[in-house]
Amino acid sequence: MSTTYEAEKQVAIAAVRRASALTASVFNKLVKNETLTKDDKSPVTVGDFSAQAVVNTMLLRAFPEDNIVGEEDAADMRVESGKLLRNRIVELVNETITAPLQAGETEAWGLGPDYAQTPEQIMDIIDRGNYNGGSTGRFWTLDPIDGTKGFLRGEQYAVCLALIVDSQVQLGVMGCPNLPVSVSNPSGPRGCIFVASRGQGAWQIPLDASDSSAPIPLTIPTFTKDTLNLLESVEKAHAKLSFNDRVAELLGITKAPTRMDSQAKYCSLARGDGGVYLRMPVGSGYKEKIWDHAPGAVLVEEAGGVITDSRGEPLNFGLGRTLGENFGVIAAGKNVHAHVLEAVKKAKEEETS
Ligand X SMILES: Nc1ncnc2c1ncn2[C@@H]1O[C@H](COP(=O)(O)OS(=O)(=O)O)[C@@H](OP(=O)(O)O)[C@H]1O
Residue placing its CB nearer to ligand X in the complex, 5 or 266: 266
Quote the CA–CA distance of 343 and 249 in Å, as a whole number.
9
Give the nearest distance from C-beta 147 to ligand X in angstroms. 4
Q: What's the angle, vertex CA 276, arms to CA 273 and CA 281, rounded to 5? A: 130
Residues whose CB falls within 8 Å of the CB of residue 80, separated by 6 or more in sequence, listed in order: none
Q: Which residues bind ligand X (CB under 6 A)?
A: 71, 143, 145-150, 233-235, 237-238, 261-262, 284, 286, 289, 292
Of 40, 45, 48, 309, which one is the catalytic site residue?
48
Give the nearest distance from C-beta 152 to ligand X in angstroms. 10
Q: Is residue 114 part of an annotated ligand binding site?
A: no
> Is residue 146 at the binding interface for Mg ion, with CB under 5 A as the rule?
yes
> Is residue 288 at the binding interface for Mg ion, with CB under 5 A as the rule?
no
Closest among 150, 144, 170, 22 to 73, alpha carbons compared: 144
Q: Is residue 145 part of an annotated ligand binding site?
A: yes
Quote the CA–CA distance of 305 and 282 in Å, as a whole number.
25
- The site partner of 352 among Mg ion, ligand X, none (C-beta below 5 to 8 Å per kind) is none
- The site partner of 237 among ligand X, Mg ion, none (C-beta below 5 to 8 Å per kind) is ligand X
Q: Please list every residue from 38 through 77 that binds Mg ion, using CB under 5 A.
A: 71
Examine the residue annotation and report whether 48 is marked as an active-site residue of this protein: yes
Please report how the helices 119-127 and 43-62 are oriented relative to each other, as an axis angle in degrees rounded to 10.
Answer: 80
Out of 40, 288, 292, 301, point to the residue binding Mg ion (CB under 5 A): 292
How crowded is residue 182: how many other Cβ atoms within 10 Å of its Cβ? 13
Question: What is the sign, positive or negative, of the torsion defined by CA atoms of 58, 51, 200, 320?
Answer: negative
Stretch in the footprint of Mg ion (CB under 5 A) among 94-102, 141-149, 211-219, 264-272:
141-149
- The site partner of 261 among Mg ion, ligand X, none (C-beta below 5 to 8 Å per kind) is ligand X
By CB under 5 A, how many residues form the interface with Mg ion? Answer: 5
Give the nearest distance from C-beta 38 to ligand X in angstroms. 21
Residue placing its CB nearer to ligand X in the complex, 61 or 293: 293
Q: Is residue 261 part of an annotated ligand binding site?
A: no
Q: Is residue 292 part of an annotated ligand binding site?
A: yes
Give the nearest distance from C-beta 23 to ligand X in angstroms. 12
- Phi and psi at 107, nearest 5°, equal -60, -25
Give the nearest distance from C-beta 106 to ligand X in angstroms. 29
- Reduce the secondary structure of 218-249 to three states and give it as a string: CCCCCCCCCCCCEEECCCCCCCCHHHHHHHHH
- The single-letter code of the amino acid at 129 is G
Of 148, 208, 261, 309, which one is the catalytic site residue?
148
What DSSP element (H or E) covers 306? strand 305-308
Q: Is residue 143 part of an annotated ligand binding site?
A: yes
Residue placing its CB nearer to ligand X in the complex, 261 or 309: 261
Rg of the chain (C-alpha set) = 20
Q: What's the Cα-to-Cα distance from 215 to each of 4, 161, 196, 219, 234, rounded to whole Å?
A: 17, 19, 12, 13, 29
CB-CB contact of 198 with 37 (8 Å): no
Q: Report the residue closest to Mg ion, judged by CB.
A: 146
- The single-letter code of the amino acid at 259 is R
Residue placing its CB nearer to ligand X in the complex, 70 or 206: 70
Out of 105, 143, 273, 301, point to the residue binding Mg ion (CB under 5 A): 143
- Phi and psi at 92, nearest 5°, equal -65, -45
Stretch in the footprint of Mg ion (CB under 5 A) among 24-32, 87-95, 214-222, 287-295:
287-295
Residue ranges for the known binding site for Mg(2+) are 71, 143, 145-146, 292
List the catalytic residues.
48, 148
What is the binding site for Mg ion (CB under 5 A)? Answer: 71, 143, 145-146, 292
Residues annotated as binding site? Answer: 71, 143, 145-146, 292
